[in-house]
Amino acid sequence: MTAAREEAAPSRRLSSRQIEVFRAVMLAGSLSGAARELNVSQPSLTRTLRRMEDLLGFSLFGRVRGRLAPTAEGRLVFARVQHVQNQLRELDAAVAQIARGDSVLLRVGASPSFAQWLVPEALARLRRQLPALPLQFDVLTLNQMVDYLALGRGEWVLTMTPIAHPAIESRVVAEGRLVCVLPATHPLAASTTIDPAALPGQPLIACEPGTPHGQPVRDLLGPAVEVGTTSRFADTAMRLAEAGLGLALVDEFTARGTLGGGCVARPLAAPPCFRVHLNRARDALPSRPAALFEAELLALLAPMP
């Protein structure tokens, strides 16, 4: 019985135009003032208010000593209208904040090689698009990456190797070469490319065997070639070369970072390639800033050989 009465109850929903007219009359305190504010005729406002009162089933205004005055019900409706207007203003402000990119922190991560140049440059380009965007860049180990993405701590992670996990989507977006970082005064630095056959007998620096950087070097030079200094990370190998310990064999993304110690980077002839993997949580849609970051990253990688 109650449900039937609810279904039969007439709708009292006001149109946006009716709300605009009612609010203008309340704020102006008169029909003439509201008519000037809305740039319409006074009779049209009177007709709109009468239709509203017919729809609502009660009076919104009356006359007190010849002047228009809101009824108690009219004041209650106005309080609700003002509340809704404030919420709409807050919504407009929130939407504008989202559009500016300053509402959500963008967190991205990477293995150390991509922390030297690639990710910082992509973030710098993104910042030019969204100057107010809060950013956090995390350099991660392989053990940290799954939780970082699967638990929503960050949106992207760049790696040399794919992240093998069912919750992670890993795709190849570019390839890079093995290069040699050496003093600009070294005889091999005069060449545009270095023949790997010229490296045996040089003081070499490379990453540990079995790592994404170390194993390609061993495959290229053979197990008999002596590597005088090893490190865990390619950026460390480059710093060792800058300190004068030898010639570092690293990926070109690491070598694009700032070179000190009078060093230069030269590509190897027919070098092994390193793949750039862009990883994200499989079931998560990227935020707008994350999508823009991806676009800037791909634009940086597009012209690379």
Residue 232 has pLDDT above 90, yes or no: no
Of 46, 68, 99, which one is at a domain's C-terminal end?
99
Pair 167, 192 in one domain: no
How many domains in the chain? 3
- Residue 25's closest CA among 83, 69, 82? 69
Mean pLDDT of 44-62: 87
Pair 78, 222 in one domain: no
* Dist CA 133 CA 237 (whole Å): 33
Comparing 85-89, 133-137, 185-189, which segment has the lowest mean pLDDT?
A: 85-89
Pair 150, 289 in one domain: yes
pLDDT band at 30 (very low <50, low <70, confident <90, very high): confident
Pair 196, 124 in one domain: no
pLDDT band at 296 (very low <50, low <70, confident <90, very high): very high
Pair 157, 246 in one domain: no
Range of the domain at 197: 174-274
Kindly report, residue by residue over 94-150, the tens digit of the pLDDT.
Answer: 666 666 655 578 999 999 889 989 999 999 999 999 888 899 999 998 889 999 999
Give the pLDDT confidence score for residue 20 in this predicted structure: 87
pTM over the 0.75 mark: no
**Total residue length of the chain:** 305
Of 99, 119, 150, which one is at a domain's C-terminal end?
99
Pair 140, 231 in one domain: no
**145 to each of 76, 139, 214, 262, how far by Cα in Å?**
55, 10, 21, 35
Mean pLDDT of 42-67: 85
Of 78, 99, 120, which one is at a domain's C-terminal end?
99
Pair 258, 133 in one domain: no
Pair 184, 46 in one domain: no
CATH code for the domain of 213: 3.40.190.10
Give the pLDDT confidence score for residue 100 in this predicted structure: 62
Give the pLDDT confidence score for residue 101 in this predicted structure: 57
CATH code for the domain of 147: 3.40.190
**263 to each of 43, 197, 205, how far by Cα in Å?**
84, 21, 14
Residue 224 has pLDDT above 80, yes or no: no
* Dist CA 93 CA 91 (whole Å): 5
pLDDT band at 6 (very low <50, low <70, confident <90, very high): very low
Residue 203 has pLDDT above 50, yes or no: yes
CATH code for the domain of 95: 1.10.10.10
Longest dimension (CA), the chain: 108
Pair 115, 250 in one domain: no
Residue 63 has pLDDT above 60, yes or no: yes
pLDDT band at 1 (very low <50, low <70, confident <90, very high): very low
Mean pLDDT of 271-281: 90
Pair 77, 35 in one domain: yes
Beta strands 247-251 and 168-183: pairing type?
antiparallel
Kindly report, residue by residue over 211-221, the tens digit of the pLDDT.
Answer: 888 888 888 88
Mean pLDDT across the chain? 86
Pair 95, 8 in one domain: yes
Beta strands 61-64 and 67-70: pairing type?
antiparallel
Give the pLDDT confidence score for residue 90 in this predicted structure: 67
Pair 61, 144 in one domain: no
User: For residue 175, which amino acid is it?
Assistant: E
pLDDT band at 190 (very low <50, low <70, confident <90, very high): very high
* Residue bearing tokens 């000190």: 260
Beta strands 247-251 and 204-207: pairing type?
parallel
